[in-house]
Amino acid sequence: MTTRYAPPSMYRSREGVGVWEHRGKVAAVGVGHSPTERRWDERPETSVGAWSIMALRNAIADAGITPDQVDGLVIVPETTTGAFWPEDKALPQDVIEAFVQTNDPLDGIAKLSVDWLLKNMPELTNINYSLYAPVCMSNALNVAAQVVGDGLAHTVLVLKAWHNLQGRYYQGGQNAQDAIGGTSAMRSLWGAPACYGTALQFAEYCHKYNKNHDMMTPFIINSRRNGLMFPEGYWAQHRPEELTDEDYQLARWIAKPANLFDNDIPIMCAASYLFTTAERAKDMKQKPVYILNHADSDAVPRGLTPTLDEVEAECALTGRKIYEGAGITAADLSFENMYDGFTQFHQFHIEGLGYRGIGFGDALDFYQTDISIEGSNPVSPSGGNIGSGRSRFWMHTDSIQQLQGRAGGRQITGVDAEIGVSGGPMPLGGNYTVWSATPD
Amino acid sequence: MSILISFDIDGTLEIGDPPGAVTLEMVKTARAKGILTGSCSDRPMSAQRAIWKKYGIEYDFVCYKHLLPDLKKQFDAESYYHVGDRDDLDRKYAMRAGFGFFWPDEAAKNPLLL
Amino acid sequence: MKQGVIPDQFTAPFWSAANESKLVIQNCSKCDRLQHPPAQECGQCKSGTNLEWKEMSGKGRIYNYGVVHDCPIRLLQDDQPFNVAVVMLDDDPGIQMYSHLPGTPADEVPVGAEVRVVFEETANGQKVPEWKVVT
Ligand SMILES: [Zn+2]
């Protein structure tokens, strides 16, 4: 089976296209995760391929169906956190021997193909439709929702996995060289770390609205607290450390005004969700969570990095697209699980949504109020990437589990979990899903 | 002669992630010699305190790497040392703050810890 | 010290102009629209057939900045912390360029100030546009 990337027509990128034609007719049922690890120890059973298989099998089991009932796959083929397998390093032989290989030796180690998964999951006997989605689970969810809605497949597994290798983040490769190519030099010659663009937007935001970095503290503490109640997450599994005001406010700068704890930690992990039609979902093991809409932001900044004006305009547009297609308003949201890895754009996302009536420049004041899962205005109940490490999928798992009433310690209690929204990553360039406990 | 030694955790102490060459016994030995000891790491300061408490080791301070100059002001010692495994975050910060510097494997052989 | 630059076919005109102390930016003659970084096609009309290089005045303003304390590039780590500012060109404020703002101490950046282009040598001798605050 040849698998291609999802075509642009699958995404809901425009405003003014009305309510999603499949609103409430597609449901998420099963959730499956692998464990987490900081870096790969180069054993076969902890490879990105092995953990992908584990996440997929867990999602199937969670939905209470048999593998032969699955007829579609939507996966993200890119698995890197920024780490690439060194060209001069031999691949571990025991890993190669542990799996059925495709013609790409890095398949299942530093990337993932549908072909590799099907060769190594013989129980998936009825897959007749598959698509790739680029980079993020958020993107793959949009594609899978459309695939099921359009009837291209009726029971679809969605997968995103991450590999992280030995060595320090982004310190090898081009960054260690004495000279680089002319095209990448245009941007990278100045040594700005990954969080720099977001830090710039945050600096402009603070200047415009008279806010400061310390005002982020309640959001950081709340996110880590929620993350420590996420048994699938990295911090809960490996280093159950809460954060205090002092911990955050005194931390070293990476690119001022972004500090160490404004950045998420790169990890290895995999997650999968089982999507199916609302009709079929009724007979499965878990309570169905209905998809009301999916929306895509495809804006491109004019310059090297988005300006605050561009960010605010795009987040507002994304908010309008999200609500229009779902046929809801901001007042219908029980909770929000917008992306946070970097912390300093979470406020752009929720201001664009007008979450709890806030507008641009309001979020940091909103963070000073009760934003806990016990209150009526829960912010990032998943804890996001700050709470559980860089997966860009905790917010989706949490949204599904909140609406199924099985978010455990993270279950929101100050408001009934009826409708939630999750997605990201960037203010310019992201994918969003609206989830509901009921189909209408 | 009063001495202060600051230990990085990850890649430096045996309990770090990854584990380093400096054992907790060495830290205890240094303390028994009257050396001021504590940690200086990227881990949250509250977590650093929790680590020392967990292993039942007294400490004089916890610190972030860029705050080594403040640590020096806080304690009146004749010599200050930092032990760490990273060139940019340990050695350079230590040098700038006027600390002596040891890599973990050097420290593990140093008479101050034995 | 900045990493050296190995011009590729696509960006060669930018880099050879820099070696002659000239700042050129890609322009779509059909849209009369500048774009940077350069691309294979115009961001507006999506055509690649009308792209040319246009010399700039070399004047700009500091739009915003961050201070880098933990840089992934080995050759720059000795210089930490350092400014990375965003300069908007007077010729078209939509065109941004990064700058270390040579001569401006870290975190003492006058946002909004006028800057002028200068050309700085990188590790392999290739020159690169940089910006200095006009005093
Ligand atoms: Zn054009």
- Residue A168: pLDDT over 70: no
Q: Which residues of B touch C69 (CB under 8 A)?
A: 66
- Residue A113: pLDDT over 70: yes
What is the pTM assigned to this prediction? Answer: 0.96
User: Which CATH entry fits the domain spanning A4-169+266-281: 3.40.47, 3.30.360, 3.30.700, 1.10.3470?
Assistant: 3.40.47
Q: Does A212 touch chain C (CB under 8 A)?
A: no
Question: How many angstroms away from the CA of B88 is the closest CA of chain C?
Answer: 7
SS3 content of chain A, % helix, strand, coil (to 5): 40, 20, 45
pLDDT tens track for A295-342: 999 999 999 999 999 999 999 999 999 999 999 999 999 999 999 999
> How does pLDDT run along chain C (135 residues), one tens digit per residue?
999 999 998 899 999 999 999 999 999 999 999 999 999 999 999 999 999 999 999 999 999 999 999 998 999 998 999 999 999 999 999 999 999 999 999 999 999 999 999 999 999 999 999 999 998
Q: Which residues of C touch A190 (CB under 8 A)?
A: 2, 84, 98-100
- In chain C, the domains with their CATH numbers are 8-55 (no CATH), 57-135 (2.40.50)
Question: How many angstroms away from the CA of A34 is the closest CA of chain C?
Answer: 30
Q: Give every CB contact of residue C130 below 8 A, 6+ residues apart in sequence.
A: C99, C100, C101, C102, C117, C118, C119, C120
Residue C48 Cα, ligand 1 centroid: separation in angstroms?
Answer: 8
Q: Given pLDDT bands bounded at 50, 70 and 90, which one contains residue A176?
A: confident
In order, the DSSP letters of A337-350 are EE--SSGGGHHHHH
Which residue of chain B is at minimal alpha-carbon distance from A168?
A: B86
Domain boundaries, chain A: 4-169+266-281
Q: Do A250 and B65 touch (CB under 8 A)?
A: no
Calculate mean pLDDT across residues A39-65: 98
Question: How many angstroms away from the CA of B108 is the closest CA of chain A?
Answer: 23
- In chain B, the domains with their CATH numbers are 3-105 (3.40.50.1000)
pLDDT at A171: 63
Q: Do B88 and C69 touch (CB under 8 A)?
A: no
Q: Does B66 touch chain C (CB under 8 A)?
A: yes
C-alpha A205/C-alpha A209 separation (Å) is 6
pLDDT at A399: 99
The chains found to touch B (3+ Cβ pairs under 8 angstroms) are A, C
pLDDT at A174: 83
- Residue A87: pLDDT over 90: no
In order, the DSSP letters of A124-165 are -----EEEE--S-HHHHHHHHHHHHHTTS-SEEEEEEEEB--
